[in-house]
Amino acid sequence: MTQLINVTVWGEYRHEKTHEEVARVYPKGMHEAIAEGLRESPDFHVNTATLDQPEHGLTKEVLAHTDVLTWWGHMAHHEVKDEIVQRVYERVMAGMGLIVLHSGHMSKIFSRLMGTGCMLKWREANEKERLWVVNPGHPIVRGIEEYIELPHEEMYGEHFDIPAPDDLVFVSWFEGGEVFRSGCCFYRGAGKVFYFRPGHETFPTYYNPTIRKVIANAVRWAAPNGNAEPIRGNVKPLEVIRS
């Protein structure tokens, strides 16, 4: 029997309302395209939440029932309330998985979890991106070929101001010559965090079946594994201490 994984897809959902070009690519919002991809997996139960909902759609109840949260934000990172960031942070520490997508690298929750600036180089020139698998045994690349090619994406280049990832899964090459650590795993508390680079709002990246497969694999990797909660602080000995 497969256990159902509860996924909450969080989307800022602002570009789609203010930029016609983005609304054309994602008429129902980017979060709906990401959720649609995840709904192809029968072992996922998928809901969405957006910035303009009360508590950004991330109430205590919603987060308590979320195994894995995906995060796409860009123009309104500063509008995410610190109280909600703290709530997400505590859930990650307690074991919730977090998938941070594309421009989410500058979100409050990602920089809080990384402890670094998280800035990078960027350029919007509709160039080709090739994501090379650099960790072929990793569960996030199950069923993925040697590389993924995206004909048009925004460029992100090194240096990416993050701590050294615990697992590096993808390295991107861009037509303009830059490279970037585009698939990075981090362990934080009892939780797992995956940063995945592609997904600029003007490109149909989240309809790409291979990109969808990577995100689905990442959800399975990041889902809590039922391990016991770590015990910290002063404890009594398990054995009689005779000395």
154 near Zn ion, rule: CB under 5 A: yes
**Does residue 32 belong to the site contacting Zn ion (CB under 5 A)?**
no
Q: Does 103 bind Zn ion (CB under 5 A)?
A: yes
Residue nearest Zn ion by beta-carbon distance: 200
- Order of strands, edge to edge, in the sheet holding 5-11? 44-50, 5-11, 68-72, 97-101, 191-196, 179-188, 167-174, 121-133, 147-157
Under the binding rule (CB under 5 A), the answer on residue 111 touching Zn ion is: no
User: Where does this chain touch Zn ion (CB under 5 A) — which range of 11-19, 197-205, 209-217, 233-241?
Assistant: 197-205
Nearer to Zn ion, 14 or 200 (CB): 200
Instruction: Check if the beta carbon of residue 219 is closer than 8 Å to that of residue 68.
Output: yes
Using a 10 angstrom Cβ sphere, with 0-12 exposed, 13-18 middle and 19 or more buried, the burial of residue 23 is middle
Closer to Zn ion by CB, 20 or 61: give it: 20
- x/- site string to Zn ion, residues 211 to 240, per CB under 5 A? ------------------------------
Residues 6+ apart with CB under 8 A from 240: none
The Cα–Cα gap between 164 and 114 comes to: 10
Cβ neighbors of 48 (< 8 A, separation 6 or more) are: 8, 9, 10, 11, 29, 31, 32, 35, 57
Any contact of residue 16 with Zn ion (CB under 5 A)? no
For Zn ion, the binding residue among 130, 200, 212, 213 (CB under 5 A) is 200
Question: Min. distance of Cβ 62 from Zn ion in angstroms?
Answer: 26
Give the burial string for 66-91 (b: 16+ CB within 10 Å, else e).
Answer: bbbbbbbbbeebeebeeebbebbbeb
Q: Binding-site residue total for Zn ion (CB under 5 A)?
A: 3
In whole angstroms, how close is the CB of 130 to Zn ion at the nearest point? 18
Identify residues 56-75 at the interface with Zn ion (CB under 5 A): none
Residue closer to Zn ion, measured from CB, 9 or 96: 9
Binding site for Zn ion (CB under 5 A): 103, 154, 200
